[in-house]
Amino acid sequence: MSSAGVRVTRAQAEDLIRKGVALAIEARDEFWAAYSREEAGKRKTEEAGGGTRQRPLVAASVGCYGAAQADGSEYRGAYGLTVEELMDWHRPRLAILGETDADLLAFETIPCQAEVVAILQLLREGREQEGSAPTSRRTPCWITLACQDATHLNSGESLVSCVQLVKALDTGSRPQVVGLGVNCCAPQHVEGALTVLREGLLTISAAKEVISAAKGSERILIAYPNSGEVWQDKRWLPGTGVCPSSRDFADLARKWVVAGARVLGGCCRTTPETIKALRACLLAK
């Protein structure tokens, strides 16, 4: 039951998950058809660095356990659950989303090492059961971590340890985890966190298209922080952020690109105006 008092059955909830992806794909396809007609596949665009514009990708969100509890535990990273319990919790949603036509799976706002391990174990479980499990489809994915500073998850655990886990558990010539990064952390920590991730991964793809990373052994860096406002008593405290304007957020993003980020955006307390400012700032660089 949501805070608004709306009740849904499990079957209805599963249908809503599928519908969310379908609507995103529908919106993308409508945009792309209109864009293609207008450009006729010939016109060059600034955002692709002089090349033709890329067809947008749809990433299906796989949120963290804490966010579903509505108690702010994703900002503490203290679940009190085992890896196996987290795997059991994530498995049904991953099975549903793995069957959709999403281009990627986005594991977001992951605040603790146990949840990182659970995700990686589920992905491996799917690969090992190839052809027999709903999760066996090798949909590329990214994992973005929720951090309290530039070197630690919200749980207080080392950011470096998560890089090591990804390298150890997502093995093979073609990684399924094609991106690693941070989201819903304060913007002032992003540059440092990206540096930690970049140095840990060693091989970072600068490919223009995210999904192309799945063809090789490289991974891309991702960053979409929140506004930096403080979360307290189950609410954001207005005016406590480090980016009082969308322009401030966009200016910081220049440093994230220099630090290696290839996918950028905004999370909690950012707005469409933030994304507009971000896009304008990056195109003007």
Whether 48 contacts 279, CB under 8 Å: no
Q: Would you state the pLDDT for residue 215? A: 47
Q: Which helix (H) or strand (E) holds 213?
A: none
The average pLDDT across 46-71 equals 80
Share of the chain above pLDDT 90, in %: 61
Sequence-distant (≥ 6) Cβ neighbours of residue 88 within 8 angstroms? none
Residue 137 has pLDDT above 90, yes or no: no
| Biggest CA-to-CA distance, the chain | 55
Whether 142 contacts 180, CB under 8 Å: yes
Residue 48 has pLDDT above 70, yes or no: no
Q: pLDDT for 68-119, tens place per residue?
A: 998 889 999 989 999 999 999 999 999 999 899 999 999 999 999 999 999 9
Distance separating alpha carbons of residues 214 and 177, to the nearest angstrom: 8
Per-residue pLDDT band at 40 (split at 50, 70, 90)? low
Distance separating alpha carbons of residues 77 and 75, to the nearest angstrom: 6
What letter does residue 134 receive in the DSSP assignment?
G
**Rg of the chain (C-alpha set):** 19
Q: How far from 272 is each of 157, 188, 258, 275, CA to CA, in Å?
A: 32, 20, 23, 5
State the sign of the Cα–Cα–Cα–Cα dihedral 51, 106, 275, 189: negative
Q: Is 267 annotated as belonging to a binding site?
A: yes
Q: pLDDT for 214-240, tens place per residue?
A: 444 468 999 999 998 888 878 888 878
The four Cα atoms 28, 183, 142, 63 give a dihedral, to 10 degrees, of -80
Q: Can you read off the two tokens belonging to residue 193? A: 């966190």
Residue 38 has pLDDT above 60, yes or no: yes
Distance separating alpha carbons of residues 18 and 15, to the nearest angstrom: 5
Backbone angles phi, psi at 248, to 5 degrees: -60, -45
Q: Is 268 annotated as belonging to a binding site?
A: yes
Pairing of the two strands 261-264 and 220-224: parallel
Backbone angles phi, psi at 71, to 5 degrees: -125, 10
Domains of the chain from N-terminus onward? 11-22+57-130+138-204+217-283 (3.20.20.330)
Write b or e for each residue in 142-158: b if 16 or more Cβ atoms lie within 10 A of its Cβ, otherwise e: bbbbbbbebebbbbebe
Query: Nearest-CA neighbor of 93 among 22, 16, 145?
Result: 16
Can you name the residues that pair with 222 across neighbouring β-strands? 181, 263
Q: Would you state the pLDDT for residue 241? A: 77
Pairing of the two strands 141-145 and 177-183: parallel
- Give the 3-state secondary structure of residue 13: helix
Residue 134 has pLDDT above 60, yes or no: no
